[in-house]
């Protein structure tokens, strides 16, 4: 299975991070009713922009397998928190909601 990790501003907004375009080291885990994403990044303009728009972030995971349709998992950050630990070079994004679906399952037939 291949996993693509995205951090976006709003749903259709610009992409801040995309693991298919930039090699990223990240980890995520469920913490109670939330999901915490930890991304190793140097302090840079991307981190600053993510922190600037932290109340409007979405995190996406795309799981692609050769024998199954792509599964999309959409995490909405809502109230965060979103923070950056300069000493550790670690961006943490906490999401409060999660929707999992297969995009190919949506649509209509005539």
Which CATH number characterizes residue 64's domain? 2.30.110
Q: In this predicted structure, what is the pLDDT of residue 33? A: 92
- Is 39 a member of any domain? yes
- Residue 2 sits at the vertex; the CA angle it makes with 106 and 19, to the nearest 5 degrees, is 95
Read off the pTM: 0.89
Long-range contacts of the stretch 40-49 (C-beta < 8 A, 24+): 40/89, 40/90, 40/91, 41/89, 41/90, 41/91, 42/89, 43/84, 43/86, 43/89, 46/16, 46/17, 47/84, 47/91, 49/9, 49/16
Q: In this predicted structure, what is the pLDDT of residue 108? A: 52
- Is 110 a member of any domain? no
- Is 72 a member of any domain? yes
Give the domain extent around 84: 2-105
Number of domains within the chain = 1
Per-residue pLDDT of the chain (110 residues; tens, 9 = 90+): 999 999 999 867 899 999 999 999 999 999 999 999 999 999 999 999 999 999 999 999 999 999 988 999 999 998 889 999 999 999 999 999 999 988 777 655 55
- Is 92 a member of any domain? yes
């Amino acid at each position: 299975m291949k996993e693509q990790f995205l951090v976006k501003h709003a749903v259709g907004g610009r992409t801040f991070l995309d693991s298919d375009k930039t090699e990223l080291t990240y980890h995520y885990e469920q913490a109670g009713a939330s999901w915490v994403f930890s991304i190793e990044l140097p302090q840079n303009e991307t981190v600053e922009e993510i922190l600037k728009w932290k109340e409007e972030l979405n995190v996406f995971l795309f799981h692609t397998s050769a024998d199954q349709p792509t599964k999309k998992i959409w995490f909405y950050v809502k109230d965060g928190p979103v923070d950056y630990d300069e000493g550790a070079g670690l961006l943490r994004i906490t999401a409060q909601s999660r929707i999992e679906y297969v995009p190919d399952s949506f649509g209509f037939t005539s």
